[in-house]
A = this chain, B = another copy of it.
Amino acid sequence: MRFSSSLSRLINDHSSYSKLLVLLSVSGSGSLLAYAQSHKDVANPVIVGPEQSDPTTKKKEKIVVLGTGWGGISFLKDIDTSSYDIQVVSPRNYFAFTPLLPSVTCGTVEARSIVEPIRNILMKKSGEFHFWEAECLKIDPENKRIHCRSNINDNLAGNNDFSLEYDYLVVAVGAQVNTFNTPGVLEHCHFLKEVEDAQSIRRSVIDCFEKSVLPDLTEEERRTNLHFVIVGGGPTGIEFAAELHDFFEEDLFKLYPSVKDLVKITIIQSGDHILNTFDARISSFAEEKFKRDGIEVLTGSRVVNVSDKHIDMKLKANGQDFSVPHGMVVWSTGIGSRPVIQDLMKTNGQGSRRVLATDEWLRVKGSEHVYAIGDCATVDQRKIKEDILNIFETADKDKSGTLTKYEFQDVVEDILIRYPQIELYLKNNHISEVQDLLKDSDGKERKEVTIEQFKTALSQVDSQTKSFPATAQVAAQQGTYLSSCFNRKTHCEQNPEGPRHFSSTGRHQFRPFCYKHLGQFAPLGGEQAAAELPGDWVSMGHSTQWLWYSIYASKQVSWRTRVLVVSDWTRRFIFGRDSSRI
């Protein structure tokens, strides 16, 4: 025993000895090769799946992906690893199904049930992947290099900093909370962006109850501690309020009956209505349901300061200041750029912008070989008026100075693809065909259109240019789109499939990214939900909640999380939610 332990200690202390040991036992080139192989593994540590490197083939281009949220994962799920060397850097070694975060705050679903280790996801694909749990601190497009730091505690051996080279960089780091510089928000508010946020909210809710039932508190103190404030009336804030209300009604009031009547939930919304990105019917359905549930909705109020015990607001209508005491505040409004993105924007000429801009092919403007998807960037939709002369000239094949119907028809498909705002404009103005735009003021068809008439006809179209919402849906579609572009890169170099270039000749290599809105849900508690479905269909009530259950179960990233989420729901139906403070 002692000899073997001393030997192994020796090896441990001086790892070079182990190499020596291997070399000593070498009896042929096979063993030497085996050692060389294992050594290579260590230098490039996280190789998942069989190695496919063949020295005779051309070196694969390296794509580095930053982030493992919706955008990053969608990209990674579809990218062809036989064509690219894929490296992933993210401070979280898992993907989280963020739409269920509000459910995690109250224990309707457990945190572990909505996360899937990134390595599990990658392992399911064949081919090579590397994953590093680290945060990218700096992007250096000039040298095609990023600088990263692991956030693992310093107790462990080895440097936490490293840098990576890339051929292409896919930035999918998401956004951070935006406090709009409101004092006290960072110090005294909870957020709802990460799994840890949801867990900390869950503990705090229980703290508020446990503190409120202690002896020696005045009723006012109990009431203060049991006042739950949510800033932001968007889908996340609303769903959280609904979850909280259900948690109280179905579980906590039974366990803390004496303070039942002192509990209050307030939603603070700066706009006039909650859920104001939804159909007005949903918005008022939610407001009425919340009224019945006793959830107060303070609309038209702006938060100006948050302290540990009070939240100060200003009524927008008359500028009146007022303040309410609170037990906890959840800040669920606004997103801002992460420092690494702000830093990139300073170097690529976007320094004066608020959000990083990409073109319609998701390429970061001013940074070659850098792509951005999801909440960290916004697609800067090309305005048609900037290209109107080029379009006219391209379309006017006979160079007559006027466009005929047939000349216009020839470019219609391309401009519809290149400027999706046209389609939106037609729809909102109930115009059935794009050719109708060229009609005269009396609605009669023109035989030929001059450049001035052409400009006038399209002058209103750009007003419909809209940025995409900061949702999982957009990020996921962008990830899928981008990976399909990379996968078909060689093919599309020969056979470009995008719309024609109006400012030059030829066609764009790919069609621009086009967002397809599949609808959105707003769970409202008490087994009721509201949904906006494709085709302007609005659905509300209990059946919608069941639709929500089935869609959210089907959208899970793995069978493991699917089974866990569904069994969590079942567990909640049978046993209720857990109120242990862990």
How far is it, in angstroms, between the C-alpha of A547 and the C-alpha of B511 when the chains are bound? 62
| Pair B580/A560 contact, Cβ less than 8 Å | no
Question: Which has the most chain B C-beta neighbours within 10 Å: A14, A112, A264?
Answer: A112
Report chain B residues within 8 Å CB of A111: 582
Report chain B residues within 8 Å CB of A575: 559-560, 563
| Pair A93/B162 contact, Cβ less than 8 Å | no
Query: Smallest CB-CB separation from A307: which chain B residue?
Result: B155
| Pair A157/B224 contact, Cβ less than 8 Å | yes
Interface string of A11-29 (1 = CB under 8 A from B): 0111110000000000000
Report chain B residues within 8 Å CB of A13: 324-325
Partner of A324 from the list B12, B110, B155, B221 (CB cut-off 8 Å) is B12
Partner of A157 from the list B132, B159, B297, B309 (CB cut-off 8 Å) is B309
Partner of A258 from the list B42, B164, B222 (CB cut-off 8 Å) is B42
How far is it, in angstroms, between the C-alpha of A48 and the C-alpha of B567 when the chains are bound? 29
| Pair A42/B222 contact, Cβ less than 8 Å | yes
Minimum distance in angstroms from A150 CB to a CB of chain B: 6
| Pair A580/B94 contact, Cβ less than 8 Å | yes
Minimum distance in angstroms from A453 CB to a CB of chain B: 50
- Judge if A206 is at the interface, Cβ distance under 8 Å: yes
| Pair B259/A45 contact, Cβ less than 8 Å | yes
| Pair A214/B158 contact, Cβ less than 8 Å | yes
Report chain B residues within 8 Å CB of A110: 110, 112
Report chain B residues within 8 Å CB of A16: 220
Report chain B residues within 8 Å CB of A195: 582
- Judge if A442 is at the interface, Cβ distance under 8 Å: no
| Pair A156/B580 contact, Cβ less than 8 Å | no
Report chain B residues within 8 Å CB of A41: 257-258
Report chain B residues within 8 Å CB of A5: 296-298
Asked if A212 meets B580 with Cβ closer than 8 Å, knowing A158-B217, A188-B155, A217-B159, the reply is no
A-B interface, 8 closest residue pairs, ranked by CB to CB distance from nearest? A94-B580, A45-B213, A41-B258, A158-B217, A158-B221, A15-B220, A133-B210, A157-B221
A-B contact pairs, 20 of them (CB 8 A): A8-B296, A42-B219, A45-B256, A47-B258, A48-B255, A93-B210, A110-B110, A112-B580, A115-B580, A115-B582, A117-B255, A119-B255, A119-B579, A120-B579, A123-B254, A132-B213, A133-B214, A158-B216, A158-B218, A164-B215
Chain A residues with CB under 8 Å of chain B are 1, 4-5, 8-9, 12-16, 38-39, 41-48, 92-94, 107, 110-112, 115-117, 119-120, 123, 132-134, 150, 152-153, 155-160, 162, 164, 188, 195-196, 199, 206-208, 210-225, 227, 254-259, 261-262, 264, 296-299, 308-309, 322, 324-325, 327, 559-560, 563-564, 567, 571, 574-575, 578-582
Other CB < 8 Å A-B pairs besides A15-B220, A157-B225, 5 of them? A42-B259, A45-B258, A117-B255, A156-B224, A196-B582
